[in-house]
Copies of this chain bind each other. A is one copy, B any other.
Amino acid sequence: MKILDLVPITVDVWTPESGAYIRQHLHRDTEVVTRRLVHGPASIEGEYDEVLAGPEIVAMCGEAEKEGFDAVFVDCFGDPAVRAARECCDIPILGGFEPALYYSLGLADKIGIVTVLPHVVSMLDGLIAKNHLEGRVVSLRHVNIAVLDLHSIDPLVAAVVKQARKAVEADGAGAVVLGCTAIVGVAEAVGERLANEGLSVPVIEAAQAALMLLETHVRMGWRHSRRTYLPPRAKDRTWWPGDGAEPMQA
């Protein structure tokens, strides 16, 4: 099976190590190809960034389906343009939010999210509400670190532990979801430190969760509902694709 890891930003935030990390639990025969946007925001830290990234995300999903990819991971916790891409495509398409959250529901009653910046809080509140998860998500905190500064693992772990502790002790969370797909490779360290404090809670990384759920969708043959996501009606649509300067026609 072949999954597109569509990083919806223009900056290359992935090292070979982080890529290997998020793929480590997949089937040996699951291939993950990483691509990023040609034009768009350097990182997604709010709804403006999401909007800028949107058209190229949908176009790349469509191309991936034509190329024969089995599924697409829109590699951002805000699920940017994911619903739009599902209208246009038949293959499974997931962002980072839904998989991490839906998996977490089977691990604890109350979920805490630790994300990056205050700028994404109302965006994530919106996702929580739209997905009717307000009865389960009891905490939404941030480490106040920008997406492109997440690579320093030690301060990141310390910052995440600090917020996760509050999520568990003050807000009652029983599991912690790391609310940015660029937070990679810290779940074990965070989980251990919390456990050492007597707070034994699962810690879920969104990129890992998303790839795993996509693999599951493909193996199970599940396709997103065409009653929820109706195919777009034919009509004139012009836009700029990911790789050229000329507007195109749908």
Chain A residues with a Cβ under 8 A of chain B: 10-11, 25, 27, 39-43, 45-52, 54-55, 57-58, 81, 83-85, 87-88, 94, 98-99, 102-103, 105-110, 117-119, 122-123, 125-126, 129-136, 146, 148, 168, 173-175, 199-202, 204, 208-209, 212-213, 216-217, 219-220, 222-230, 232-233, 235-240, 245-247
Given contacts A25-B219, A51-B55, A52-B55, contact A232 B42 (CB under 8 A): no
Number of copies: 6
Select one of B43, B123, B200, B212 contacting A226, CB under 8 A: B200
A-B CB contact pairs (8 Å), 9 listed:
A39-B247, A45-B235, A52-B55, A109-B225, A118-B230, A119-B233, A175-B228, A200-B225, A202-B224
Alpha-carbon distance A8/B67, docked complex (angstroms): 31
Residues on B with C-beta less than 8 A from A239 are 39-40, 52
- Centre residue among A39, A132, A133, A228 by max chain B CB count within 10 A: A228
When distances are taken between beta carbons in the complex, the residues of chain B under 8 Å from A46 are 84, 87, 230, 232-233
Chain B residues contacting A55 (CB-CB under 8 Å) are 51-52, 54-55
Q: How far, in angstroms, from A87 to B233 measured CA to CA in the complex?
A: 31
Given contacts A39-B247, A54-B55, whether A108 and B224 have CB atoms under 8 Å apart is: yes
Do residues B109 and A102 form an inter-chain contact, with CB atoms below 8 A?
no
In angstroms, Cα B247 to Cα A43, docked, is 17
A136 smallest CB distance to B (angstroms): 5
**A230 vs B116: C-alpha distance when bound (angstroms):** 14
Given contacts A40-B237, A131-B105, A239-B39, contact A48 B84 (CB under 8 A): yes
Cα A110 to Cα B173 in complex, Å, equals 21
